[in-house]
Amino acid sequence: MYDRFTTQRLIDLWLSEDIGACDLTVQLMIEPDETGAFRMNAREPMVLAGIDVAASVFSRYEPRLSVKVEAADGDRVEKGATLILVEGPAQGILTAERTALNIVQRLSGIATETARYVDIIKGTNARLIDTRKTTPGLRMLEKHAVACGGGLNHRLGLDNGVMIKDNHIAVCGGIAQAVERARRKLPVLTKLEVECDRLEQVREAVAAGADVIMLDNMPVPEMKEAVAYVAGRAKLEASGGIRYETIRAIAETGVDYISTSKITQSAPAVDIGLDEA
């Protein structure tokens, strides 16, 4: 889910960055009255995200274009699938092409990577969540892509929840003191999470009344102990060192959430092309 008004402002920035003063190649070679018809197609299997944003790029730059979206965000599409059909003034299509492709390739890459992790932990109670390690300026859309891939969103921003980390604890003098300070003015519908890397800290966080406890880089055997000790009194999030090879064992400890930045920071862009229809 993303805000379309904000996205339109982003599209203006992307187009301005790519075009500069003008698309010199198109202006020199393509006449204003020439038309074209093209199809955006998947060149590999993927989970789709950002297809409506890509369509909006074409429409924003050249409103006279006919843009027909043939697939939906969250769809698992096969190689060769048609994603968008666009036709009309050729200058507009060719100028906006790269910007439209860039965003849908990036977001679909995130959705596809997210789905890979989600598939590995199927059958457990754990849910995959993202982090704030996103591309500056693209957080809203990258978190939308995570949702398209079957993941959940953690905090959208610093104003979206209270996360008490080791440095906060150090300044406040301990977990109990940090939680007590935060609780004084905490909005009633806002969750409070405490980061812990040792079992003794988990016990302190439970006693302090944390809503969520992050098990930060904790070995699997200790995670199991933490799950048994907490016994549902708080939600548990596992974080740190999450990889394809480790996530299933972590999910099987009984944690509620597993967070990783790899789905946004390390996801490769997928291969999508625009070819003549």
Q: From the candidates 18, 43, 70, 98, give the one annotated as an active-site residue.
A: 98
Tell me, yes or no, whether 172 and 193 share the same domain.
yes
Would residue 211 show up in a list of annotated catalytic residues for this protein? Answer: no
Q: The domain that contains 215 carries what CATH number?
A: 3.20.20.70
Q: Which domain holds residue 41?
A: 4-118+268-276
pLDDT of residue 265: 94
Tell me, yes or no, whether 188 and 80 share the same domain.
no
Q: From the candidates 73, 97, 113, 195, give the one annotated as an active-site residue.
A: 195
Tell me, yes or no, whether 232 and 243 share the same domain.
yes
Q: From the candidates 133, 224, 233, 262, give the one annotated as an active-site residue.
A: 133
Tell me, yes or no, whether 46 and 182 share the same domain.
no
pLDDT of residue 269: 98
pLDDT of residue 2: 87
Pairing of strands 212-216, 235-239: parallel
pTM of the complete model: 0.95
Q: The domain that contains 94 carries what CATH number?
A: 3.90.1170.20
pLDDT of residue 274: 98
Q: From the candidates 165, 183, 198, 243, give the one annotated as an active-site residue.
A: 165
Tell me, yes or no, whether 125 and 259 share the same domain.
yes
Would residue 116 show up in a list of annotated catalytic residues for this protein? Answer: no
pLDDT of residue 1: 74
Tell me, yes or no, whether 127 and 261 share the same domain.
yes
Q: From the candidates 23, 130, 193, 216, give the one annotated as an active-site residue.
A: 216
Would residue 216 show up in a list of annotated catalytic residues for this protein? Answer: yes
Tell me, yes or no, whether 136 and 243 share the same domain.
yes
Would residue 185 show up in a list of annotated catalytic residues for this protein? Answer: no
pLDDT of residue 54: 98
Number of domains forming the structure of the chain: 2
148 vs 166: CA distance, rounded Å: 32
Mean pLDDT by 10 residues, the chain (277 residues): 92 98 96 97 98 98 98 98 98 98 98 98 98 96 98 94 95 96 94 96 97 97 98 97 95 98 96 96
| Among candidate residues 240, 206, 210, 243, the one with its CA nearest the CA of residue 226 | 206
Would residue 122 show up in a list of annotated catalytic residues for this protein? Answer: no
| Residues β-bridged to residue 76 | 47
Residue-wise burial string across 161-200, b where 16 or more C-beta atoms lie within 10 A, e elsewhere: bbbbeeebbeebeebeebbeebeeeeeeeeebbbbbeeee
Determine contact, residues 216/236, Cβ cutoff 8 Å: no
pLDDT of residue 162: 96
Tell me, yes or no, whether 132 and 154 share the same domain.
yes
